[in-house]
Amino acid sequence: MPMISLAELQRRIDAGDLSPEASIAQACEAIDAQDKTIGAFVCRPGTVGAASAGPLRGIAVGIKDIIDTSNLPTEMGCPAIYGGWRPRADAAVVMMLKQAGATIIGKTTTTAFAANDPTATLNPHHHGHTPGGSSAGSAAAVGAGMIPLALGTQTGGSVIRPASFCGTAAIKPSYRLLPTIGVKCFSWTLDTVGLFAAGVADLAHGLSAITGRAELLPRAAMQAPRIGIVTQEFAGAAEASGDEALRIAAAAAERAGASVRALALPEIVAEAWRIHPVVQDFEAHQSFAWEYRVNYDAMPPLLRGRLDESRDITPAAYDAARGVANQARRALARVFEDIDVLLTLSALGAPPEGLASTGDPRFNRLWTLMGVPCVNVPAYVTADGLPVGVQIIAPFGGDARALEAARFVEAALARR
């Protein structure tokens, strides 16, 4: 089933060709038809309505189940500890969606506490493969054509990687462009709320409506972006399918008029890649202190093992890691003096077979630590029918630029 374009729904609703109620009803039907197989949703409200005003009226949105909702349970992907948990308030970003007129259509599956223990959700492109994680249900629901918009979060690679695996567009915006109030914390330095949608213009319309930032709306496409290709060799080798995606995207962008050149990142940036786990795990011991200390036996095994292994990180090591991150952010800002955006891998390659692993965030985690906006664009589909994406990255605060350059690459790939 094709994905649902948010921008196209907006056009039809604005023109009076589709009522908000009918748009929401279509999403409900698509979920009813597909979710028994895919398993992208944890729960859905008994009745759903549609707002009559707001830029997102008639837009059905899925909310990752680590994000608080006042009228639906929030189980954190861990019913053993949070079964039936009902927060009092909506998360800030849920309220922003509602104020923009969106309809919360349900809570989507998440790996427990947005860590690595997999969900039962299937990849909509190939049921024998993982949809990725941690934002599994949000990526799968958009990729399957059930809903036009979904919220995820990324601490390592939990938005961009599942988007690549499920063949959707996605944005991990600049750090704190979207508030994390009411979102279960893993690492306060890293956690970032992001969006999944069918295409880059859909992301732009969605992000602009949520934030009230008109500058994020699509403008005339970039003419000849200066693109730096980075392979993140410090993160290890990609798979052949990942390398192929990057090659295809770079070639398409160049043919479309971009200036494209390979770029080496400063050593301090590679060092920031290395210390990302120090920041994440030191903060995780504080964020999950209650779960880990009071509910140790009920903790998901992969996350618990990760916490077991990282108990001895000292405050001094954490302080040093934050110092490296700060230096690297400044060094990365200087990299952008000569280019508009970076283009790099969204994942090692195609989604792994089976559901035992959600894949590897090694090509994502640096950018989460840098706080810079990243947009996934599907680059190609393997012979086995598996999507592989690439990510376009702009400087901190350059979310509009990241989206414009991603539209350029998306259009270039469509002409291929």
Q: Which is nearer to its own copies, 98 or 226 (CB)?
A: 98
Q: Is 72 helix (H, G, I), strand (E, B) or coil?
A: coil
Work out whether 320 is an interface residue with its own copies (CB under 8 A): no
Burial label for 163, CB within 10 Å (0-12, 13-18, 19+), is buried
Q: How far is CA 410 from the centre of its chain?
A: 17
Residue 5 near its own copies by CB under 8 A? no
Q: What mask, x for binding its own copies by CB under 8 A, covers residues 372 to 411? A: -------------------------x--------------
Give the nearest distance from C-beta 61 to its own copies in angstroms. Answer: 16
Closest CA to 118 of 357, 364, 362: 357
How far are the Cα atoms of 13, 81, 201, 219, 373 from residue 404, in angstroms, in the given order? Answer: 24, 42, 9, 8, 12
Residue 348 CA to residue 361 CA, distance in Å, equals: 8
The distance of closest approach from Cβ of residue 327 to its own copies in the complex, given in angstroms and rounded to an integer, is: 14
89 binds its own copies (CB under 8 A): yes
How many C-beta neighbours within 10 Å does residue 414 have? Answer: 10
Binding segment toward its own copies, per CB under 8 A, in 164-172, 254-262, 284-292, 358-366: 284-292
Please, are residues 241 and 350 in contact by the beta-carbon 8 Å criterion?
yes
Whichever of 226 and 322 has its CB closer to its own copies, that residue is 322
213-232 residues in contact with its own copies (CB under 8 A) are 213
Stretch that binds its own copies, among 129-137, 172-180, 234-242, 271-279 (CB under 8 A): 172-180
User: Going by C-beta distance under 8 Å and a sequence separation of 6 or more, which residues neighbour residue 262?
Assistant: 228, 229, 230, 231
* Cβ nearer to its own copies, comparing 187 with 391: 187
Is 53 a binding residue for its own copies by CB under 8 A? The answer is: no
**Site membership for its own copies, residue 188 (CB under 8 A):** yes
Residue whose tokens read 């319309």: 205
- Only one residue has tokens 């597909």, namely 34
95 lines the binding site for its own copies (CB under 8 A): yes
CA pair distance 124, 41, nearest whole angstrom: 13
- Given the rule CB under 8 A, which of 21-29, 178-186, 328-336, 344-352 is the region that contacts its own copies? 178-186
Using CB under 8 A as the criterion, which residues of the chain lie in contact with its own copies when the complex forms? 70, 81-82, 85, 88-90, 92, 95-96, 98-99, 176, 179-181, 185, 188, 211-213, 283, 286-287, 289-291, 293-294, 315, 319, 397
